[in-house]
Amino acid sequence: MRALPGESILGSFVNATDAELERLHLPWWYDATLWESLDYLGWTDPQAPERGYLVAETSFGLVGVVLRLPKNRPHGRRALCNLCLTQHQSQGALLMVARRAGRAGINHNTVGTYICGDLACSLYVRGLRRSFGGGAMPETITVEHRVARLHENLEDFLARVCVE
Ligand SMILES: [Zn+2]
């Protein structure tokens, strides 16, 4: 993804409440972000590990979403990230839930999907990080294809959050 200024990132959130916006900060490593290796910017709130943030460029614009991560994390179960299809040992992929944008969100309408718990799908698809005990599914497709698939899945997920 292209490098994004902090204001664009903080201004991209479609499903955040005023209270959430108030406590929203850029990730501490923002200045060292390796943009060219990322398909989305993802981080968790160091003060509230059950709160995650994901920002990506889509065909319908720059979209940021606030995610709720589970407080109690299941042990011992393998889980697959629905965005990058990396398989993880327990806790490596978590069910993350986004309030939908606009009126749907006010009515507590949410969209959930399993995502790499460290929000580092971009690194897994490029082989820059390996999952513990799980690993990529045996596939013969290229990194470019994996990246393209991640973009598609990301776009689908974010569209479901944005659609009223
Ligand atoms: Zn992933």
Specify the pLDDT at position 39: 97
Residue 54: predicted pLDDT: 98
Cα 148 to middle of ligand 1, angstroms: 13
Query: What confidence category does residue 132 fall into, taking pLDDT thresholds of 50, 70 and 90?
Result: confident
Q: Mean pLDDT over residues 62-81, rounded?
A: 87
Question: Mean pLDDT in the chain?
Answer: 91
More confident residue, 131 or 110: 110
Q: Does the residue 158 lie in any domain?
A: yes
Q: Is residue 66 part of a domain?
A: yes
Q: What is the total count of domains within the chain? A: 1
Cα 153 to middle of ligand 1, angstroms: 10
Domain that holds residue 27: 6-162
pLDDT of amino acid 136: 60
| Residue 134 confidence (pLDDT) | 60
Is 41 part of any domain? yes
Distance 117 CA to ligand 1 centre (A): 8
Distance 66 CA to ligand 1 centre (A): 17
User: For residue 92, how far is its CA from the centre of ligand 1 (angstroms)?
Assistant: 9
The answer as to whether 1 is a domain residue is no
- Cα separation values, 2 from 38, 62, 69, Å: 9, 11, 27
Sign of CA dihedral 32, 38, 40, 44: negative
pLDDT at 156 over 80: yes
Identify residues whose C-beta is under 5 A from ligand 1, the ion. 81, 83-84, 86, 116, 121
Whether 42 is covered by a domain: the verdict is yes
Look up the pTM and report it: 0.92
Q: Which residues pair with 87 in a beta bridge?
A: 80, 135
Residue 105: the pLDDT is 73
87 C-alpha to ligand 1 centroid (Å): 8
pLDDT of residue 79: 87
User: Token pair of 68, please?
Assistant: 């709720």
